[in-house]
Chain A
Amino acid sequence: MFDFLDSGQYDLLGAFWVTAKLALYSAIGSLIWGTALVAMRVSPVPLMRAFGTAYVNIVRNTPLTVVIVACLLGLNQTLLITLGGQRSEDIGFRLAVLGLIAYTGTFVCEALRSGINTVPPGQAEAARALGMSFTQVLTLVVLPQAFRAAVTPLANVLIALTKNTTVAAAIGAAEAAFLMKEMIENEADALFAVFAVFAFGFIALTLPTGLILGWAAKRLAVKR
């Protein structure tokens, strides 16, 4: 039943490696972008606050598929941006990372904002009483505590991101869902086996993430 694994016709590990890379790059990028967004949303400059709020509300309510397809049709085919990729798979991969960062950044921003809300006001007030500027209050006092409180929501975002990488198949990035689509059409008689293999792959990717970060959330939480 599982002979398609030995046929050498399909690069299963390679596909999951692409999925893992998509998730890793997008996670790093969206963490940075989400932090920038949350800094804008709490900043003293009204225009930045407005931009942060508008961006989060618009992008969060757009389907990820639309974001990713817009990356291909808009950025690549209309504006001819290739992000330095040569083959269409590479371009698809890079555009998918960009789309995933743009989309996931909004959820990181929301997770961090809930983290900021758990920091007692006295912390920021004490920092201001010491004469710290807004940037110092945010980067030295509030955000470090907010990150520690936001590990659980951030872990949920990371798990959702790992599952969302499958949407990259819509623009031809050679990741797991793209391979599965090809395999269930070619190996029609082994449908259940193919599904089981891919399901196992994703469980193997998401389950440890949840366990490790759940443990980290407990260790890192600020005891109050």
Chain B
Amino acid sequence: MSSVLYDTPGPRAKRRNILYTIGFLAVLALAGWWVLAALNEKHQLDADKWSPFVTDSQVWTTYLVPGLMETLKAAALSILIALPLGALLGIGRLSDHRWVRVPVGAVVEFFRAIPVLLLMMFASQLYREFTTVSSDFRPLYAVVTGLVLYNASVIAEVVRAGVLSLPRGQGDAAVALGMRKGQSMLYVLLPQAVTVMLPALVSQLVVIVKDTALGGALLGFGELLSQNRQITANYGANTIATLVVIALIYIVLNFVLTTFASRLEKRLRQGKKTAAVTIPAQAGATDAVKKAVSDA
């Protein structure tokens, strides 16, 4: 364990590090003990407040799983609608025509600058006043609308950055082959940009999952977090236990997505490195030789 920031610890540094470890552990233990003691005093640590999550499958089948399904439904709908919309906006921002580029840019910047909660509340009221969407579905519609408007503009920026990150020669080559602008974008630039964009898109999915909780807290959307009220009402005020379980579900879900995103990023970067290395003629030749030898 060494880093550029500090020398490999010698005997004195090792002793000092152990002292720091003990001190830090003591602070953590003190804070933890204080919280646990306070919770215990409020009877939040009693076994019967936590046991429903293990013994009673009803908590899961009636509250937590349906809540999680609503969360996932809203997140999936949002990303599915936001992806094509964002791609269109991103391509629009790259347009050669000023009358397309400027308004699209204004739309993207506008929706990126506004909190997603404001968009959700606006959409909710919009549906209430101008449509006949029943009040059961209105929260879902409002949450998805808010998330789509915000995330489409974020994805637009991701698409734009992805396309701009490609070597100029790609677009030039497409033009040299006689492709039209649309063809060059569709068949040459976008397919390559997608691989660059993938990690950012998966990370955006985490943001979407997290933002669905806003609908639960403020718009009466029946997602995972909002189940907290129902469970504590039915299982004897086990606020802390319920919050911990709900938070854990979110953390596991998002942690899987985050890990997936960073894996993708690492793989892409490695892929690039090897690709960059194999471009010189010698490397390719030796590879070919090796392959020929192994084939023989």
Residues of A within 8 A of B (CB): 42, 44-48, 51, 57-58, 60-66, 69-70, 73-74, 77-79, 121, 124-125, 128, 134, 137-138, 142, 163-167, 169-170, 177, 180-181, 184-185, 188, 191, 195, 198-199, 202-203, 206-207
Contact = CB atoms under 8 A, between A and B. Distances in A.
Contact of A62 (B35, B214, B251): B251
A180 B122 CA distance: 9
A58 B249 CA distance: 11
A58 B122 CA distance: 31
Nearest to A124: B4
Nearest to A138: B5
Contacts, number: 150
B5 A134 contact: yes
Interface residues of B, number: 53
Interface of B: 1, 3-7, 9, 13, 17, 20-21, 24-25, 28, 35, 38-39, 42, 44, 110, 113-118, 121-122, 125-126, 129, 206, 209-214, 216-218, 225, 228, 239-240, 243, 246-247, 250-251, 254-255, 258
B3 A42 contact: yes
Contacts of B218: 169-170, 181
B6 A44 contact: yes
Q: Max chain B CB contacts within 10 Å: which of A61, A166, A177, A191?
A: A61
A170 B240 CA distance: 18
Q: Max chain B CB contacts within 10 Å: which of A63, A170, A185?
A: A63
A61 B257 CA distance: 10
* Prevailing SS type, chain B contact patch: helix
Contacts of B217: 65, 69, 167, 170
A74 B25 CA distance: 23
